[in-house]
Amino acid sequence: MLIAKKQTLITGIIIFMRNKKKTALDISIGITIVFLVTCIIIIGTKQLILGYQSQSWPTADGIILSSKIKTSTSSSNHRRVYSPIITYEYTVADQSYVNSAIRFGQVGGQDKTVAQAYVSYYPAGTNTKVSFNPAKPEQSILESGISWKSWAVLFVGFAFLSFGIFLFSSRNHSAFKNNTVY
């Protein structure tokens, strides 16, 4: 039922946008959405590339220094967000590094049990393997590979990009001259 309501709302917005005259404001909003979403897509693509490359990174022995859950409040919907903060130390070529990156892609969320699972899996004082970038040994993660959340960022990014292009597109770009596009 909820999905049907969302689809009806989206369909209504699309029909409304198709039937109304596009103004310079609509086009400006479209350009802004396209720009912001392009940034999101670039970040998501970088996460995917690093995740893929990390599968072939060498590993070093490490130790978990601390393992805790950080609780914050989302600014957009005022819900609690739980993020595992796993701090670890590892050594590469006689140089010690400290990091807290678990994997590429978001690991926090509104489900506290997910954050708790990470904290339980990586308790303080335990030894672990750390994958590190051989070109930049200070860049490391505990879990190599590509996260499904990295794909989700790209999917959502392309969906918003399509919407922004829809707002921006018109048959006549004279909106910047007379504030209306026909």
**What are the tens digits of pLDDT across the range 1-53?**
444 444 555 555 555 555 555 567 766 777 777 788 788 788 888 888 888 99
Domain assignment present for residue 19? The answer is no
**Residue 68 belongs to a domain:** yes
Which pair of tokens denotes residue 111?
């489900």
| Phi/psi of residue 49, nearest 5 degrees | -65, -50
Instruction: Please indicate whether residue 55 or residue 25 has the higher confidence score (pLDDT).
Output: 55
Same domain, 132 and 100: yes
Domain shared by 41 and 85, yes or no = no
157 and 87 in a common domain: no
Q: How many domains does the chain have?
A: 2
pLDDT score at 17: 55
Q: Is residue 113 part of a domain?
A: yes
| Domain-located, residue 6 | no
pLDDT tens-digit map of 142-178: 999 887 777 777 777 777 777 766 766 654 444 445 5
Instruction: Let me know whether 91 and 154 are in one domain.
Output: no
- Domain span including residue 33: 24-55+145-170+178-182
What's residue 23's pLDDT?
67
Residue 13 lies in a domain: no
| 93-115 tens-digit pLDDT | 999 999 999 988 777 777 889 89
Per the model's pLDDT, the better-predicted residue between 110 and 179 turns out to be 110
**Could you tell me if 113 and 98 lie in one domain?**
yes
Report the alpha-carbon distance of residue 167 to residue 180 in Å, rounded.
13
95 and 73: one domain? yes
Say whether both 150 and 130 belong to one domain: no
Same domain, 96 and 150: no
CB atoms within 10 A of CB 59: 14
The answer on 162 and 131 residing in a single domain is no
Question: Smallest Cα–Cα separation from 32: which of 175, 171, 161?
Answer: 161
User: Other CB atoms closer than 10 Å to residue 151's CB: what's the count?
Assistant: 15
Cβ-count burial of 39 within 10 angstroms (0-12 exposed, 13-18 middle, 19+ buried)? exposed
pTM of the model: 0.67
Indicate the pLDDT class of residue 77, thresholds 50, 70 and 90: confident
Q: Please tell me the distance from the alpha carbon of residue 69 to that of residue 122, in angstroms, as a whole number.
A: 12
pLDDT for residue 131: 97
pLDDT of 86 reads 96
Tell me whether residue 84 is in a domain.
yes
Q: Kindly tell me if the per-residue pLDDT of 121 is higher than 70.
A: yes
Are 127 and 62 members of one domain? yes
Same domain, 138 and 157: no
Tell whether 39 and 96 lie within a shared domain: no
Q: pLDDT at position 54, please?
A: 93
pLDDT on residue 92: 97
> Which residues 6+ apart lie within 8 Å of 141 measured at CB?
54, 99, 101, 102, 103, 104, 130, 131
